[in-house]
Amino acid sequence: MSSPTFTLNDGAQIPWIGFGTGTALYTKDSTEAVKTAIQTGLTHLDGAQLYQNEESLGKGIKESGIARQELFVTTKVFKTPEGKSVKDTLVESLKKLGLEYVDLFLIHSPLELVKDGKMKAWWKEMEGIKKEGLAKSIGVSNFMVEHLQLLLQDAAVIPAVNQIELHPYVWNTAVNIYEFCKSKGIVIESYGALSTLFRVPEGPVDHIVAKLAERLSKESGTTISSGQILMKWLFQKGVVVVTTSSKTSRMKEMLAVPSLPDLTPEEIVAIETEGSKLHKRFFGLNIYNE
């Protein structure tokens, strides 16, 4: 089962669902998890230098036996060691991954760049990396509107992607980023999408999501989970979802989301309305001053 794709502003196609090697796999050997994900049909793999497991991500890719052109691989730069450039860090990542290029290269966080006044210089380096073909597409992560505005002042290339924490409990503050990115043709990628379910048990979103899961289960004749409802909400908003699971059954659930019956516009609003009753962020509190 292959994943539908969204078109990035540079014409590249990004699979809407990505398998993340952060969070649960942070600093851990991800070989088996990556191999299982690829063999189950998750061809979009999301890594980062900060996760400290690029070697095992590369090993999982190699052991999967899937052709490189069938995969969409992301990594991210967090900081540059003394005397090293952004390109140097990517060259090191490519060695670890065993790849000649990544499909997407992201700046992991804006904080240090803003503090050190390096935002525009780093983005110029990113543009050079894209021109050289070491990364097919370039983008950012955890950028708020003001960070994007600063970057765009002198940018020759508009970021293809902004990867942010996105779920109903941050929608009230993330909606401005979502709308700004949409206006610039920047695709939003979500991480932490299912946090509402397991980090806030019995939160305000639970009842509406359970009700919608029941409706879609009846309509489709198959059991739909609450997690699938949240992913369907994001899918219908044109958001790429990056998530992790060690279970093949969960991976298959994720891949099935696009083929589920659509949520109505009213149901999408209901999820966002219930989400706005509780503001809860789980990652990057320092970025958002929360």
54 within a domain of the structure (yes/no): yes
pLDDT 10s digits, 50-59: 999 999 999 9
Backbone angles phi, psi at 73, to 5 degrees: -115, 130
> In 192-284, at which residue ranges do the beta strands (DSSP E only) sit?
240-243
Q: Are 263 and 212 in contact (CB under 8 A)?
A: yes
211 within a domain of the structure (yes/no): no
275 within a domain of the structure (yes/no): no
**What average pLDDT does this structure show over 104-112?**
95
Any idea which residue has 């610039």 for tokens? Answer: 184
Question: Confidence class of residue 155 from pLDDT cuts 50, 70 and 90?
Answer: very high
The count of structural domains within the chain is 1
Write out the residue range of the structural domain in which residue 19 sits. 5-195+239-246
267 within a domain of the structure (yes/no): no
pLDDT 10s digits, 20-68: 998 888 888 899 999 999 999 999 999 999 999 999 999 999 999 999 9
pLDDT 10s digits, 114-131: 888 999 999 999 999 999
185 within a domain of the structure (yes/no): yes
201 within a domain of the structure (yes/no): no
Q: Is 108 annotated as a binding residue?
A: yes
pLDDT surpassing 60 at residue 1: no
* 114 or 287, which is more confident: 114
DSSP string, 93-150: HHHHHT-S-EEEEEE--SHHHHHHT-HHHHHHHHHHHHHHTSEEEEEEES--HHHHHH
User: What is the share, in percent, of the chain residues with pLDDT greater than 90?
Assistant: 88
Catalytic positions, written as ranges: 51
Question: Confidence class of residue 286 from pLDDT cuts 50, 70 and 90?
Answer: confident
Domain of 72, CATH number, reads 3.20.20.100
Task: Give kind and range of the element (H or E) at residue 266.
Answer: helix 265-275
**Three-state DSSP class for residue 231:** helix
278 within a domain of the structure (yes/no): no
pTM > 0.85: yes or no: yes
221 within a domain of the structure (yes/no): no
